[in-house]
Chain A
């Protein structure tokens, strides 16, 4: 079975631009969470979606938004990019609504560089 997939693998954007990152969960998983991992730090929770509804939101500005589609795939959108948005963006999928009660499987991430 395929694991969590993310696209693109790498991305270079300019300050002020917009970016869309994509994630496909493991088949049968209905919940997706997004994380930002700055170099040398642990992942920071951004969003959690279950059954197309937002179930959790971390401490990120409104420039960050996400959505989940009927096939449970998800997009993370970031507007008005800042240099500080440069990071590895990780997507994790799990079966149920609570990431704590189910094992999370992480994708390989999208490396975003903002210049």
Chain B
């Protein structure tokens, strides 16, 4: 079973529209971390946000906002007033602690967002 599910494979929106990228995760740990990364065509993963399992406060950073709901194991990402530069593949990821203080990282399959001018 997938630890992180991003059901939306591809999304296209017209510039200035709002778009929400869905992420559902699965874990038995009580302590874990959730992430969103952006991968533009250049290929380098860019960190967007980290959220620990004890902090369910929603977060807003400019046009970006995140909605973390433990009850539904979801960590959704909304871009407001999308821009062409937002076009990229977005990955949701889950990090679970290991016994030796390390962490196991799981990425979703990604959502390819295309913003049409």
Nearest residue in B to A92 (C-beta to C-beta)? B45
Q: Which of A90, A101, A107 is most buried by chain B, counting CB atoms within 10 A of its CB?
A: A101
Selected from A43, A55, A103, the residue in CB contact (under 8 A) with B102 is A55
Q: Size band of the B side of the interface? A: 20 to 34
Contact with A along B73-117 (1 / 0, CB 8 A): 000000000000000000101011110111111111110000000
User: Are B107 and A100 interface neighbours, CB within 8 A?
Assistant: no
What A residues does B105 contact at CB under 8 A?
33, 35, 43, 45, 48, 99-100
Q: Which residues of A contact B (CB under 8 A)?
A: 33, 35, 40-45, 48, 50, 55-56, 58, 88, 90, 92, 97-101, 103-109
What B residues does A55 contact at CB under 8 A?
98, 100-103
Distance in Å: Cβ of A58 to nearest Cβ of chain B: 7
User: Are B103 and A109 interface neighbours, CB within 8 A?
Assistant: no
